[in-house]
Amino acid sequence: MSTRLATGGRLIDRGARVEFTFNGKRLSGYAGDTLASAMLGAGQTLMGRSFKYHRPRGVVASGAEEPNALMGIGTDGHFEPNQRATTQELFPGLTARSQNHWPSLEFDVGGINKHLSRFLPAGFYYKMFIHPRPFWKHVYEPFIRQSAGLGAAPRDRDADTYEHYYAHVDVLIAGGGIAGLAAALAAGRAGAKVLLVEQAGHWGGRAPVDGAVIDGKPAEAWIKDAVQTLEDMDNVDLRLRCMAAGVYDHGYALCYERLTDHLADKAGPRHRLWRVRAGRIVTATGAIERPLSFAGNDIPGVMLASAVRDYVVNWAVSPGDRTVVVTNNDDAYRTAIALKKAGLEVPAVIDARAAPEGPLVEEVKSLGVKVLSGKAIAKVKGRKFVTGVAIAAQAGEGAVLEEIACDAVAVSGGWSPVVHLWSHCGGKLTWDEAQAAFRPNPDKGPTGADGAVFVIPAGAANGEMATSSVLSDAHAAGAKAAGADAGDAPTAEVTAEGPIAPVWMMPQGAKPELRAKAWLDYQNDVKVSDVQLAAREGFESVEHAKRYTTLGMATDQGKLSNINGLATLAHALGEDIPQVGTTTFRPPYTPISMGSIAGEARGALFQPLRRSPLHGWHEANGADFEPVGHWRRPYTFKRGDESREQSVAREINNTRQGLGLLDASTLGKIIVKGPDAGRFMDMLYTNMMSTLAPGKCRYGLMCSENGFLMDDGVVARLDEDTFLCHTTSGGADRVHAHMEEWLQTEWWDWKVYTANLTEQYAQIAVVGPKARKVLEKLGGMDLSAETLPFMGWATGTLAGIPARVFRISFSGELSFEVAVAAGQGLALWEALMEAGQEFGVMPYGTEALHVMRAEKGFIMIGDETEGTVIPQDLGLSWAISKKKDDYIGKRGQEREFLASPDRWKLVGLQTLDGSVLPEGAYAVAEGTNANGQRNTQGRVTSTYHSPTLDRGIAMGLVKDGPDRMGEVLTFPRVDGTGVEARIVSPVFFDPEGEKQNV
């Protein structure tokens, strides 16, 4: 049983008791505790259950690498699952829940899964997806669903706020241990702008725990001085609780700062995502201890040796009264020393090496601890907690030599440098035989824009494990990052250590029943036997074996398991470890919150909203909005308890019979100006635009170089040198960019200038038989048919407002589009509404606009076109100049498949029963295609109920359509029935255009 020691604990404040709850139970710890240390101190060793077999699990580590002690923290809108108890600092009122169990942590029904473990081998999911379908559906899927998911998803909307910060620095240093501090001192003294980030809540890492002596001082004192020196430098910024999460191209890095996770008072942003651009990035991220693979290595009470020492020294927590240390290296002896110094029993150090020797080994022996060399743990005894260990020869198969009673096991399999940040952007690794670890290959680092390596690993992260070499390496890294000469590095006392013996299985010849209880990946429940099975089944690539076994795929991304797993795979394949290689390291280093990624971009701030100059009026007058690009446009203006359909029908009937107003301000308005403007317009549009007379308008089509129709709109020639191009509402920015691309990159010697004036004008369509009357009533311009004929424009003043009036129609009615300065839009609109009262004026929305254009057979970009349609398909050959040698898309349209007569072409479709055709429905043809699907011969592109004709109308593309007038096609509905429609002209209403020409 774990407990709190009476004295010690360098990080806790015994004067400040902190109350918290775990699974509803009230517990207490001290300020400075992590949730894990507080729970251990309160005697709570059982912290959760594993994902697949629901095995009881306790805490293994003391930092970010923890795979087991995952908690749901907080309540309601502040709840978040899968938080590591080892990195969660304690605060008053903290609420934690354990995961993956039902009905309780102590008694879990899913624990039965462990008895099914031989039915849940590596590749279980893949195999079961293939095997008999009924079995999958009725047996496996319900079982998996019940046990699936790591923790519980939050049910409430996130009540916290998040923010993004931006920083540009010369040197970003990841990690505030002694390496990070030494690097920061070197870079800071050289004058570089430095950002030093540390993921934990305190500086100095584990050097004080290990008893390092630096520059003649205890590590604790040296760290305090170093931090003080750095804080006094104006060019250095220090951030605690801020993790360097990822490294990306050209010195870009993301840092994740946790602002209130450690506080009871949650005011202010919870997390801050730093988007950093750094000249150089120093990774002083330390190293992570590896467990050893022996049977029962996941039983609560088995912990990393370094973690045991952290809990004793940092938080005065004893993991057990009697702790057996098992190791293949000298470092774990420090744990035995720390335990003994704390007055705890160490029944034995079990060392896999045949003849361990050196000062640490001698010191442990002198403390009266028995050292069993050449020995292994055959198995750990106990179920929910450790009761003892069975000892065997490391060289054998696990025959038990003796048993030792204990309640904790401290295990060390050696240290792996944290190479994640080095590797994120392509840094390569090299296998260090002497340390049995991968470390950065200095010749193959990620390079920046200047062609130089921009990530500089430092200290333990660079494979330098001794304190003295950590300091000199980090000092040199900091100086190099700042582009300075390295001066004198801090120095440390050296403790000689004997060589590590690589141990990947304990004992090395462990029998199958032991291997099936030796865990590699605690979080995803992957055992040595699973990886060996994967190798036998042919998953030889480490990336395949990873996915097949799920090794390293849990939220800890295999921080503890990766090296042991790939060593196991290498052995099973009879290959060397470097030959097998590692899986890819991907950001983030540890999971970061979704909220921090979103930052402020949520709710109303998710994306910018564009408002027309009349938006406020629309809001105040019952507009039912729809999104059009970033704009919000009124779909319809509902009155009383009208349905949307009724409202749209009323607007159409009123416009066709009297007077309607449309806010057309969102239409793109681009000026093309210059001596070569006409020449340029002839290239942009399929029509001949250079012959358009000033004062006139022309409908134009714009194609991509592929030949496909990309935008349409009315062009007005303002003067000899100037054209005003109207584009679709969603297309203005794209069309403007298209113009600029051609002007800047192909015809850069042409004298043409473009400007996107979309937001400079309000534009109001005044539509209907009474349109001229209401404008005449406003007064100021002669808008008679003689003065301003169809497809003409004129300037003047209306109701005292300077205006440009275009006589164009997208509805088939008499129609004027009036453009005024954006700031005058509302005044004009209100004047029109008032003057129009006697004509029964009503505003109408985009749906009425769409239906009226469809009644007239006018195409809509995005309905009749979808990126593979050319103007010729749409009966628009009249808008393609035959006289021009060239326009953008002309050569593309000459390609065989586009010039083919077999293409589907635009027609009108009229259902025999008057119903509305389903959107996007296909017309079926005889026979089936190679996939056994019905052949098709056309599809619906626009379909509406026409209030004018009181029946369904549609447009569609049909093979040989224009030659098949009167034929009836069948369009299957989703429910399996079909609807018949006759091919007709796409112009359903006023085919002679009499209404618009008055």
Partner 1 sequence: MLTLQCPYCGVQCDETELSPGGEAHLTRFGPGSDDTEFEQYLFLRENPRGVHFERWRHAYGCGKWFHAARCTMTLEVFGTYPAQVTEPPADLIEKIREKRPGWRWRDLA
Pair 834, 799: CB distance under 8 Å: no
- The binder of partner 1 chosen from 201, 374, 674, 892 (CB under 8 A): 892
Whether the bond between 103 and the residue before it is cis, its omega within 30 degrees of 0, is yes
900 counts as binding partner 1 under rule CB under 8 A: no
- Residue 886 or residue 992: which is nearer to partner 1 going by CB? 886
Partners of residue 97 on adjacent β-strands: 72
Residue 886 binds partner 1, judged by CB under 8 A: yes
The whole-angstrom separation of Cα 638 and Cα 649 is 11
* Cβ closest to partner 1, residue 253 vs residue 979: 253
* Phi and psi angles of residue 890, each rounded to the nearest 5 degrees, phi first: -65, -50
Instruction: Using alpha carbons, select from 340, 348, 334, 345 the residue that is nearest to residue 306.
Output: 334
Specify the stretch interacting with partner 1 by CB under 8 A; choose among 59-67, 318-326, 479-487, 892-900. 892-900
Select 634 or 707, whichever has its Cβ closest to partner 1.
707
Whose Cβ is closer to partner 1: residue 163's or residue 624's? 163
Range 260-299, binding partner 1 (CB under 8 A): 277
- What residues from 921 to 980 belong to the interface with partner 1 (CB under 8 A)? none
Q: Which is nearer to partner 1, 375 or 738 (CB)?
A: 738
Binding range to partner 1, per CB under 8 A, among 169-177, 374-382, 445-453, 775-783: 445-453
Q: What is the nearest approach in angstroms of partner 1 to the Cβ of residue 306?
A: 35
End-to-end CA distance of the chain: 96
| Residue 590 tokens, joined | 């540890």
**631-637 and 660-663: which strand pairing?**
unpaired
Smallest distance from the beta carbon of 426 to partner 1, in angstroms?
A: 9
Should residue 881 be labelled a site residue for partner 1 when binding is judged by CB under 8 A?
no
Binding residues among 718-737 for partner 1 as defined by CB under 8 A? 737
Number of residues that bind partner 1 (CB under 8 A): 27
Half-sphere exposure of 853 (CA within 13 A, CB side): 15
- Taking the complex as a whole, the smallest distance from the CB of residue 744 to partner 1 amounts, in Å, to 4
Cβ closest to partner 1, residue 601 vs residue 965 = 601
Phi-psi region of 979 (alpha: psi -120 to 50; beta: other; left: phi over 0): beta
322-381 binders of partner 1 (CB under 8 A): none
Neighbours of 166 (CB within 10 A): 9
109 vs 452, which CB is nearer to partner 1?
A: 452
Stretch of 134-142, 443-451, 779-787, 912-920 lying at the interface with partner 1 (CB under 8 A)? 443-451
What is the Cα–Cα distance from 895 to 232, expressed in whole angstroms?
Answer: 71
Which residue type is seen at 729? Answer: S
Question: Cα 342 to the chain's mean position, in Å?
Answer: 46
Residues 6+ apart with CB under 8 A from 976: none
Question: Is the CB of 505 or the CB of 739 nearer to partner 1?
Answer: 739
At residue 559's C-alpha, the angle toward residues 64 and 154, to 5°, is 55
- In angstroms, rounded to a whole number, what is the distance separating the alpha carbons of residues 211 and 360? 12
Q: Return the residues of window 735-774 that contact partner 1 according to CB under 8 A.
A: 737, 740-741, 744-746, 748
82, 491, 508, 706: which one contacts partner 1 (CB under 8 A)?
706
Beta-bridge mates of residue 432: 437
Q: Which stretch binds partner 1 (CB under 8 A): 475-483, 524-532, 595-603, 883-891?
A: 883-891
The type of residue at 112 is I
Asked if 447 interacts with partner 1 (CB under 8 A), we say: yes
Query: Considering only residues 443, 641, 885, 975, which one is a binding residue for partner 1 as defined by CB under 8 A?
Result: 885
Q: Which of 466, 472, 506, 507 is nearest to 487 (CA)?
A: 472
Q: Which of 25, 137, 751, 895 binds partner 1 (CB under 8 A)?
A: 895
Q: Give the nearer residue to partner 1 in terms of CB position, either 278 or 474.
A: 278
Instruction: Please choose, out of 82-90, 342-350, 448-456, 528-536, the segment that lies near partner 1 by the rule CB under 8 A.
Output: 448-456
448 binds partner 1 (CB under 8 A): yes
Query: Strand pairing of 194-197 and 709-719?
Result: unpaired
Nearby residues of 33 by Cβ (< 8 Å), 6 or more positions away: 11, 12, 18, 41, 89, 90, 315
Provide the residue type at 239 as one letter. R
Task: Supply the minimum distance, in Å, between the C-beta of residue 672 and partner 1.
Answer: 15
Residue 185 DSSP label: H
- Under the binding rule (CB under 8 A), the answer on residue 106 touching partner 1 is no
Please give the backbone phi and psi of residue 111, each rounded to the nearest 5 degrees, phi first. Answer: -60, -20
Q: How many CA atoms lie within 13 A of 169 on its CB side?
A: 33
Interface positions, 802-831, toward partner 1 (CB under 8 A): none
Q: Which is nearer to partner 1, 688 or 957 (CB)?
A: 688
**Contact letters for partner 1, residues 235-254 (x by CB under 8 A):** -------------xxxxx--
Q: Work out which of 891, 934, 935, 998 binds partner 1, going by CB under 8 A.
A: 891
Nearer to partner 1, 669 or 738 (CB): 738
Among 158, 626, 642, 705, binds partner 1 (CB under 8 A): 705
Decide: is 894 part of the binding site for partner 1 (CB under 8 A): yes
* Cβ neighbours for 542, distance < 8 A, ≥ 6 positions apart: 566, 569, 580, 581, 582, 583
Which residues have a Cβ under 8 Å from the Cβ of 739 and sit 6 or more positions away?
670, 672, 680, 684, 754
State which of residues 267, 355, 434, 449 lies at the interface with partner 1 (CB under 8 A): 449
Tokens found for residue 680: 């340029």
Contact by Cβ (8 Å): 465, 208: no
Kindly state whether residue 450 participates in binding partner 1, applying the rule CB under 8 A. Answer: yes
Other C-beta atoms closer than 10 Å to the C-beta of 969 total 25
- Contacts with partner 1 in 385-414 (CB under 8 A)? none
Q: Which residues bind partner 1 (CB under 8 A)?
A: 248-252, 277, 447-451, 705-706, 737, 740-741, 744-746, 748, 885-886, 890-892, 894-895
